[in-house]
């Protein structure tokens, strides 16, 4: 899977990283990758730098080097030549045109493409339980999370968070099918889990 960003942005552009600060005194920046294994950032590409409340900037990548042991890169951007200029870019996300991104493997997907998909899980006996709809993306600093909105009759819509981990994502094809451990869902969606789990253990 390949993390991407907000559905409010153009469909042909995806966020791949965020600038977390300067690197040295010659204008390089430290960039945190949304996907630690991403190879999307390459010298010669033009990236769009975006941040809420600030005008977009389009700059070319001059150099991209890994920072050993961290999901980060040190990046040189054309025209950024000193630490003050690099500091001014802190917090901006790096967006790439979809056409500039590496080809996806058969089992990969962009998180942005999950926005709007229905979420469901299979229950004992083959029953499909709706769990809501993906409405957004967020992060807790350690992992990416999908915001899933659900509605119970007579109540206001609410959300729960789905960690984007391979063992939770069973299938993505027109909808998102998940396999979740006990305690992951809000109480309103988890009704009957304990009973069904007990029945399964006795069968």
DSSP assignment of the chain = -B----TTS-TTEEEEEEEEEEETTTTEEEEEESSTT-----TT-EEEEEETTEEEEEEEEEEEEE-TTSSEEEEEETT--SHHHHHTTTTPEEEEEGGGSPPPPTT--BGGGGTT-EEEEE-GGG-EEEEEEEEEEEE-SSSEEEEEEE--TTS--EEEEEE--TTTEEEESSSEEE---TTSS-HHHHTTHHHHHHHHHH-
Last residue of a domain, one of 48, 76, 100: 100
| Count of structural domains within the chain | 2
Note whether 170 and 145 are same-domain residues.
yes
Q: List the domain range (segments joined by +) for residue 189.
A: 115-202
- Asked if 73 and 49 sit in the same domain, the reply is yes
When pLDDT is averaged across residues 139-158 and rounded to a whole number, the result is: 86
Q: Give the mean model confidence (pLDDT) for residues 19-25.
A: 95
Band (128; pLDDT cuts 50, 70, 90): very high
Higher pLDDT, 105 or 32: 32
């Amino acid at each position: 899977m390949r993390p991407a960003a907000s559905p409010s942005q153009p469909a042909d552009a995806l966020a791949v990283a965020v600038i977390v600060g300067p690197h040295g005194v010659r204008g390089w920046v430290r960039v945190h990758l949304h996907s630690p294994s991403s190879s999307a950032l390459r010298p010669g590409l033009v990236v769009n730098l975006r941040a809420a409340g600030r005008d977009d900037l389009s700059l070319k990548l001059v150099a991209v080097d890994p920072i050993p042991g961290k999901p980060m890169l040190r990046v040189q951007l054309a025209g950024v030549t000193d630490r003050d200029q690099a500091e001014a870019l802190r917090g901006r996300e790096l967006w790439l045109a979809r056409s500039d991104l590496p080809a996806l493997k058969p089992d990969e997907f962009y998180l942005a493409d999950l926005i709007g998909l229905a979420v469901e899980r299979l229950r004992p006996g083959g029953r499909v339980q709706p769990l809501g709809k993906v409405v957004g993306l967020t992060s807790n600093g350690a992992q990416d999370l999908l915001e899933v909105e659900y509605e119970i009759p007579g109540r206001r819509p609410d959300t729960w968070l789905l960690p984007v981990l391979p063992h939770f994502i069973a299938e993505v094809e027109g909808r998102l099918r998940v396999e979740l451990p006990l305690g992951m869902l809000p109480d309103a969606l988890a009704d009957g889990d304990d009973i069904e789990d007990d029945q399964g253990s006795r069968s």
